[in-house]
A and B are shown apart, each in its own frame.
Chain A
Amino acid sequence: IVLTQSPATLSVSPGERATLSCRASQSVSDNLAWYQQKLGQAPRLLIYSASTRATDIPARFSGSGSGTEFTLTISSLQSEDSATYYCHQYNDWPRTFGQGTQVEVK
């Protein structure tokens, strides 16, 4: 399953909303996760089951969608949210990741 993320890069001012998209080449039901990765660090799970926040993830992060269209929204961007965000499907083998969206906080 190919996951296509858009946009490739996103530059947003602090306090504004960021909307990231992930499209799957075939249905993954709601078996879709979002990860945040900062430079030099391991990925951090933000969202699983398309819309469930992982433990200790701030409420400004939310996920939506099912089937083939998914969205990660950061409602009020903060400086520490500068990172690359990946979607990941765990519905079918082999598992796959999107190519990532780099978010820059202006």
Chain B
Amino acid sequence: EVQLLESGGGLVQPGGSLRLSCAASGFTFSNYAMTWVRQVPGKGLEWVSGIFGGGGPTFHADSVKGRFTISRDNLKNILYLQMTSLRVEDTAIYYCGKGGDRQPGDPWGQGIQVIVSS
């Protein structure tokens, strides 16, 4: 059974940094692209970042380009999202998902809350 468990969320001040992790199990992690999406409570889904199985190439939404970096450790089966220069509008629930290149993300983790506030 595929399991994805996000961690690393929390409260951070504007301009601060945070690193999200997504621990994966139940599949051969290095064989799959991985994806981050986010959702402001009460709003729609927003695709954030994607990374191929080998670690590259990587892709980011324009709204986070230059501030967020997706990466992965295929030995530890962990996906990361390094978030810097955080803004109030980055406040959301962040989900990691298996897949995202030739197939859509599926399944998704339970999500982790990030709150950017002073």
Spell out A's residues near B (CB within 8 Å): 33, 35, 37, 42-45, 48, 54, 84, 86, 88, 90, 93-100
Contacts and interface: CB of A to CB of B under 8 A. Distances in A.
Give the residue among B60, B61, B62, B104 with the most A Cβ atoms within 10 A. B104
A43 B45 contact: yes
A66 to B, nearest CB: 16
Interface of B: 35, 37, 44-47, 50, 59-62, 95, 100-111
B47 A42 contact: no
Contacts of B47: 88, 94-97
19 contacts: A33-B104, A35-B45, A42-B95, A42-B107, A42-B111, A43-B37, A45-B107, A48-B103, A48-B104, A54-B106, A88-B47, A88-B104, A90-B100, A90-B101, A94-B62, A95-B100, A96-B47, A97-B46, A98-B44
Given A93-B50, A97-B45, A97-B46, A45 B60 contact: no
A65 to B, nearest CB: 15
Given A90-B104, A93-B50, A42 B59 contact: no
